[in-house]
Amino acid sequence: MNEINFFVFSFIITVVTIPFLISFSKKKNIFDFPEGDALKIHKMPISLFGGLAMLIATDTIFLFLSFWKIEFLFVTLAGLIIFALGFYDDLKWKHISLRKPYIKFFFLIFCSFGATLVLYFSGIKFYLFPILVGAGYIFVLINAINYQDGMDGQAGFLSAISFLGFCILSFISGNPFSLAFSLVFLGAVLGFLIYNFPPAKIFMGDSGAYLIGFSLALLAMVFSTNVLSHLLIIGLPLFDGVYSNIRRLLKGKSIFLGDREHFYDKMLNKGFSVEKTLALSCTLQIFFVISGIFVYIINI
């Protein structure tokens, strides 16, 4: 089986699907509107169906692959649970004035445990306290990727670099499941980035950020015996996300209300352009991923 085909098909499906979803956004007037929300830095209404395009691409291939490995059917179901919450968030809670932090917190925990249970029964799990740790990883990473989705290209490029890192880990370890999974998501994210590169024509939305965060948590489960390695490969979104949550909690703020104090925000505030900030973020992410791969190799 030539896994590279999965990457190509995922990329093509995403690239072809997005223009139709942008057109649908225009017909139904479903956009991410910046007016009245201080956290939004874009000026024009932007479609937020990028996550839906990635879901269509990845699930189409995963359903096909489920005839090869049944685990892909469980992966599809678990991902849908997380995606559905993010999609509802995009449609109902996207604007800061409509957010309901406590309700959102409950459903994030509930859906994280639900997705973890689905993966657990498929055999995809952490080796230690699998349900609790798995749900914790999903919860942390879907929020971590979402935090990075505040600047064009940021979340997409960082996650693409992580998926490439997991592709390399999968190849080294001889794991065909994680290799196919990583390649499918890498293709979908790169296809999305064609339209999300500054200036963005579409956003991934919370639905896309949650889907990517879930997928990275799943890959962390696959490589859970080497903790430092997979944490480094997830890299900057994880470290910035954990720091942001600690910072907000110490200030007595909800972790769901957001702010403009992330790493990329600080670079922008220092006068860096979006492109230079993106280049710096990607350079750091590449460093983390290479470090993670090196840690994995020396521990084989």
What pLDDT is attached to residue 260? 77
Q: What element of type H or E holds 55? A: helix 50-65
- For 150, 193, 235, 272, 283, the CA distances from 276, given in Å and listed in that order, are 15, 17, 19, 6, 10
What pLDDT is attached to residue 39? 61
The domains of the chain are located at 4-298
What pLDDT is attached to residue 201? 94
What pLDDT is attached to residue 275? 94
What pLDDT is attached to residue 43? 64
Number of residues that make up the chain: 300
Residue 99: CB partners within 8 Å, gap ≥ 6? 93, 256, 257
What pLDDT is attached to residue 289? 98
What pLDDT is attached to residue 253? 77
Q: How far apart are CA 256 and CA 245, in angstroms?
A: 9
In which residue ranges of the chain is pLDDT below 70? Answer: 1, 35-43, 93-100, 256-258, 300
Considering the entire predicted model, what is its pTM?
Answer: 0.94
